[in-house]
Amino acid sequence: MVYKPSVRKPLSMQPQISNSANERLSPRSAATLGCLLAAGWMLVAGAAIDPARAQAAATTAAAETAIVAPQAVPGFWDPRHRPDRPDLSRLTVIRFLTETDYPPFNYTGPDGKPTGFNVDLARTLCEEIKVTCTIQMRRFETLVDALSGNRGDAIIASLAVTPELRKRIDFTDPYYRTPARFVSRRGTVMAEVRPEYLEGKKVGVIAGSSHEAYLKAFFTDAELHGYPNAETLRQALRRNEVDFIFGDAISLAFWINGTDSESCCAFSGGPFIESRYFGEGIGIAVRKGNDVLRQALNWALFRIWEKGRYTDLWLRYFSVSPF
């Protein structure tokens, strides 16, 4: 889908890492934060002493950030807007529906049972609400019809919230997003990516995608190169045909950490989350008008995030974070 270019500045979001009472900081997240703070102090000190030294420090900090950033965990809930506990007395069982094969989010485990990030999240929500939980795996294209036909109560299958689907089903608040990010070769990692930094740079992107539309709107001085699919796009970066590639951060995170990349590359800069280009996020779907279940799930999502259980679950499945 192509969007009309906007004159607004590109929207980028850094991971929310906090040690406040509203969010428990895991040991690995704490280590990440410490490294980032140390890098920041090094940059300040270097700039005050010698510009050349500051530039060297910036390069080192960017490389270190590429290593520690995988432990960053995004936060999608505002501690200032804690939802009230709904009436849970009418909930005795939640029948979750999920997809059959979309690892690491949902897939069949070695024991033949459903597993994955979405599956574990569903079970954690049921524990928080204190209800019985069942999980049924179906083909992705049948999930919405199964929900509408009362063959399940909720879909937790990385289902993107869209205006079209909102006409048929209701959604909880997003429990994750699919941001966009730049990837470069490890020797040229940038701590921050701004339009002026990519002037004259060759940037690869999938032709006709929302990511290409975003680059055309905001990164107007970059030299764009369109590719037919993700595989050819990534090969272009490995072969040094382009300086950067730009695309879906979740799939790129698994490529970076997988064998196909041969450890060639790393994220540059932070995530971009402009909803007009990259969507409203991923929610849990319920039948139209089922506010009792929707509100219960929203309350439980906030609770498990507040307790740090969401963070633990995220780190279990995402060794390289898309954020």
Domain 178-278 annotated CATH 3.40.190.10: yes
pLDDT, the chain, mean: 82
**Across the chain, where does the E strand assignment appear?**
93-99, 107-108, 114-115, 132-138, 154-160, 169-171, 180-185, 202-206, 223-227, 244-248, 265-272, 282-287
* 227-239 pLDDT, tens digit each: 999 999 999 999 9
The whole-number pLDDT of residue 7 equals 32
**Pairing mode, strands 114-115 and 107-108:** antiparallel
Give the CATH fold of the 93-177+280-317 domain: D-Maltodextrin-Binding Protein; domain 2 (3.40.190)
What is the Cα–Cα distance from 197 to 167, expressed in whole angstroms?
41
Query: What is the per-residue DSSP string for 224-255?
Result: EEEESSHHHHHHHHHTTS-SEEEEEHHHHHHH
Determine contact, residues 234/245, Cβ cutoff 8 Å: yes
Q: What is the pLDDT of residues 30-68, one digit of tens each?
A: 333 333 333 333 333 333 334 444 444 443 344 443 333
The number of residues making up the chain comes to: 323
Q: Is the pTM of this model over 0.85?
A: no
Q: Do domains 93-177+280-317 and 178-278 have the same CATH topology?
A: yes
Domain ranges in the chain? 25-72, 93-177+280-317, 178-278
| pLDDT for position 71 | 53
Report which of 301, 228, 286 is spatially closest to residue 97, judged by C-alpha positions.
286
CA atoms of 185 and 166, how far apart (whole Å): 40
